[in-house]
Amino acid sequence: MTTLLLSHPASLDHLTPPGHPERPDRMRAVAQALSEDRFNALVRSEAPKGDLEVVSLCHDNHYIDELRHVAPSSGLVYLDGDTSMSPGTWEAVMRGVGGAIAATDAVMKGEHSNAFVATRPPGHHAEHNKPMGFCFFDQAAIAARYAQRTYGITRAAVVDFDVHHGNGTQDIFWADPTVMYCSTHQMPLFPGTGASQERGEHDTVVNAPLHDGDGSAKFRSAFDNLILPQLQKFAPELLIISAGFDAHRRDPLASLNLDAEDFGWVTRKLMDLADSTAGGRIVSVLEGGYDLQGLKESAAAHVSALMGASR
């Protein structure tokens, strides 16, 4: 069994304003990191275009139509202070959706042990009917709902270790007892959600907020003492990872001070959990990570851990 890597050159064509942290160089950094010889065993494929039917599993049809309508043919269109569309944005977004779906198919059919979807823009801030925080459609949430619809998964889980809380994923699954959403994140920080008392209508939202400078020990404790026990009780049949690497100590947007090996550690912990409840099935999608060196180191640690399942 192998690890599948899905990406697409269209991720480079989503352009953002000068100085914006969510920039095409992020994709070049990940590609460079995963070009090392130790990643030769990765099975590499281009992310296909997603279709709007699967997007509508998590997002309002009016919102989808409106977003497609405002996509520009030239220049930039600003949807909020942080989030803008360029002529290449729509295809980049749909390749991200298609990559998440293709990864889910490959893992659910047993073709690969797990998969990593290296596309941009990220998705976990996109709410049911609202773009936000660099995000347009929530690929991780779409993958979970798609797996339920297509493969009869009863319980899916999305685990998010991006330094920013995934308000979009929480919004989408707030009232859904069949999907558990778990998150570590820095607070106070954008987007302002993710307090520990935010637990969803069915106690299937698990937030473990961390604080400025908390670092590795408190991050690992949050997983060992809160998130992993709750996941074990929930027993998901598929695990989706919102893999944001902006909790790295070099990142300019936050200050949790993690190292690359923390991402390797948490990946291995989640793989053990998936082995016990989900037949090892993991789909990971790239979220944040805005220092290029920190992103390279962290993505390499994450994917190296995923590949451990195939050795």
Q: What local confidence, expressed as pLDDT, does residue 310 receive? A: 42
What is the C-alpha separation between 3 and 165, in angstroms, rounded?
Answer: 27
Could you tell me which of 5, 48, 47 has the C-alpha nearest to residue 30? 5
Helix (H) / strand (E) element for 94: namely helix 89-108
Tell me the pTM. 0.97
CATH number at residue 93: 3.40.800.20
Give the pLDDT confidence of 26-39 residue by residue, as tens digits. 999 999 999 999 99
Q: Which residues of the chain have pLDDT under 70?
A: 309-311
C-alpha count within 13 angstroms, C-beta hemisphere, residue 250? 13
Q: What local confidence, expressed as pLDDT, does residue 1 receive? A: 73
CA separation (Å) from 197 to 13, 227, 260, 288, 297? 39, 14, 29, 24, 33
Q: What local confidence, expressed as pLDDT, does residue 278 receive? A: 98
Catalytic residues, by residue number, are 125
Question: Which residue has 């209508």 as its token pair?
Answer: 201
Question: What is the count of structural domains for the chain?
Answer: 1
Tell me the residue length of the chain: 311
Give the pLDDT confidence of 74-125 residue by residue, as tens digits. 999 999 999 999 999 999 999 999 999 999 999 999 999 999 999 999 999 9
| Cβ contact 234:157 at 8 Å | yes
Domain limits at 201? Answer: 3-310
